Amino acid sequence: MESVSRIRRWVLVEGRSIRSVARATGVSRNTIKKYLRDDSPPSYQRHAPPVLDAWVGGGRGRR
């Protein structure tokens, strides 16, 4: 995510405070601290298949 890398750069490289970055981005200070703790960017993993898969092409013969 671009914003995460930008936030990390502002704090770690440019030396900006967490509070000033929070004001500039509109992201919570707790979220910024979480971004600084984790080395990997956040990712989204879908756990369940989409609900419509059971209805579309389900092989029931309905039209």
> Could you tell me which residue, 1 or 31, shows the higher pLDDT?
31
Domain coordinates in residue numbering, the chain: 2-40
Task: Name which of 30, 31, 23 is nearest 1 in CA terms.
Answer: 31
Residue percentage of the chain with pLDDT more than 90: 51
pLDDT at 12 over 70: yes
Upper half-sphere CA count for residue 35 (Cβ side, 13 Å): 22
3-state secondary structure of 45: coil
Whole-model pTM: value is: 0.62
